[in-house]
Amino acid sequence: MSCTPLTLSTNTADALDSTVIVCSIAIVIHIIFWLEVLIFPSLKQRNMIWLYDYILTDLLLVIRFFILYFFRRLELCLYPTFRTIVCYFEATSKFYMNTVQSYLLLALNVSRYAQIVYSRNVYVGNLRTIIITHFLIGILPAINVIVQFMANWTTLWRRTGESCDVQTVSLSVQIFNIFVTYIIPVTLNVILLTICIRHVSSTVGIRNQQIIDRRRGHQRALLFQTIAFYSIWVALWSPYILAFQFININSNAGIYTSLLNYVEIAIDPAIVAILDVRFFKTWQTIWRKIRTFRHRVVTPVAIIAPNKNVT
């Protein structure tokens, strides 16, 4: 049984040049982000677990792109069985990971809702619930993909020189996927964030002006963070999620909506680092150390001339 090389047509390879550049920048940004997390203990907190999971899936998506891209650019020769496995992975993995990301952000906002509205730290004493939630978020989207293939609701699209893709057989399946991957998590996120903002802005029963001012300041910060992050997320992530079932990934529309998704992946760590005060404090620490080091380097050292008088 002979092997068959994975290939990439010249037109598709040229169209992917911009995506390669964006993903290369994304790798650098993500490495800097995770180095910062590993170095500073203040960033290793349980209440950031959902956010870190989300950023980690971003990194996995970039790694996925480079693995498949180089498989095809190097024309890796694969036997039919393994070639089929790679093709299924290429066609479904991005859809799966984006679905997981939707519900990781939902889990983040459910935890934030419990903390703000009920003053409950869900990260203490709820380890089993967090583990089960992680398991469900990881396994349910995978079951959804498998069932759709087994029921022939979705078929595998493959052509020589092109990336493998999925094709849904009916409009009802497409609508179901949009509800599961987009409408349900985004709607619930918006509802939870609205409740949190209303709760923070409420001053009923509070007579202390200092507490009221602190709450209003928290409200403004929360509003800014929420609007900034979710506006960028929805603007860059939505086109791919809404369109991937209706267009081929190798078409111009498929490549450019996917590119927007990778742009969002590239800037996610930067957005989190800019909006989270804990990262801002680590930046201040790094900057102080750099200034101290530079000061030591440039500070002139007095040179003592040797005594030439011979006794």
The mean-pLDDT minimum among 10-19, 196-205, 294-303 falls in 294-303
Q: Which span out of 165-174, 227-236, 291-300 was modeled with the highest average pLDDT?
A: 165-174
Give the tens place of pLDDT for each residue, 197-229: 777 666 666 666 666 667 666 666 666 766 777
Residue scoring higher pLDDT (3 or 179): 179
**Among candidate residues 132, 133, 141, the one with its CA nearest the CA of residue 97:** 141
Residue scoring higher pLDDT (243 or 209): 243
What domains are there in the chain, each with its CATH number?
4-278 (1.20.1070.10)
199: exposed, middle or buried (Cβ count in 10 Å: 0-12, 13-18, 19+): middle
223: exposed, middle or buried (Cβ count in 10 Å: 0-12, 13-18, 19+): middle
pLDDT of residue 211: 63
**Among candidate residues 238, 306, 285, the one with its CA nearest the CA of residue 101:** 238
pLDDT of residue 297: 65
In order of 19, 22, 26, 87, 248, the CA distances from 159 in angstroms are 21, 26, 29, 10, 11
Is residue 308 over pLDDT 60?
no
Give the tens place of pLDDT for each residue, 46-87: 888 998 999 999 999 999 999 999 999 998 888 889 999 999
The mean-pLDDT minimum among 147-156, 172-181, 189-198 falls in 189-198
Is residue 273 over pLDDT 50?
yes
CA 147 distance to own-chain centroid: 26
How much of the chain exceeds pLDDT 70, in percent? 85
Mean per-residue pLDDT, 176-197: 88
Is residue 281 over pLDDT 90?
no
pLDDT band at 190 (very low <50, low <70, confident <90, very high): confident
Distance CA 257, CA 248 (A): 11
Rounding to the nearest 10 degrees, give the CA dihedral for residues 262, 264, 269, 272: -170
pLDDT of residue 140: 95
* CB 244 within 8 Å of CB 95: yes
* CB 50 within 8 Å of CB 111: yes
Tokens linked to 64: 């996925």
Is residue 236 over pLDDT 50?
yes
pLDDT of residue 311: 42
pLDDT of residue 206: 60
Distance CA 53, CA 32 (A): 16
In order of 31, 139, 184, 186, 209, the CA distances from 189 in angstroms are 28, 21, 9, 5, 31
Give the tens place of pLDDT for each residue, 120-149: 778 887 889 999 999 999 999 999 999 999
pLDDT of residue 180: 92
| pTM assigned to the model | 0.85
Is residue 2 over pLDDT 90?
no
**What is the average pLDDT score of the chain?**
84
pLDDT of residue 300: 54
Is residue 241 over pLDDT 70?
yes
